[in-house]
Amino acid sequence: MDLILGRFADAHIAILSDAELDRLECLMELPDADLFSAFSGGGKLEPQYHCDLFARIQAFNVSDPDL
């Protein structure tokens, strides 16, 4: 998960709002297996974790050819 969340954070940290930073921290606290499953489409997270930021991270990693 460090690759997925870390690369997104490196690329976007300067433009994230305080609320988005809080949501990123919440996502980082989830178990890696659950988060990876959700990002890869094989699992679902609790509704409170599905947010615009989750979708942005997922889209960023899908569009990043170096990942």
Is this prediction's pTM over 0.75? yes
User: Tens digit of pLDDT for each residue in 16-43?
Assistant: 999 999 999 999 999 999 998 998 888 8
Contact 2, 37 (CB under 8 A): no
Tell me how many domains the chain contains: 1
Q: How many CB atoms lie within 10 A of CB 8?
A: 21
User: Tens digit of pLDDT for each residue in 34-67?
Assistant: 998 998 888 888 888 888 999 899 889 776 655 4
- Predicted pLDDT at 40: 85
Structural domain boundaries, residue 59? 2-63
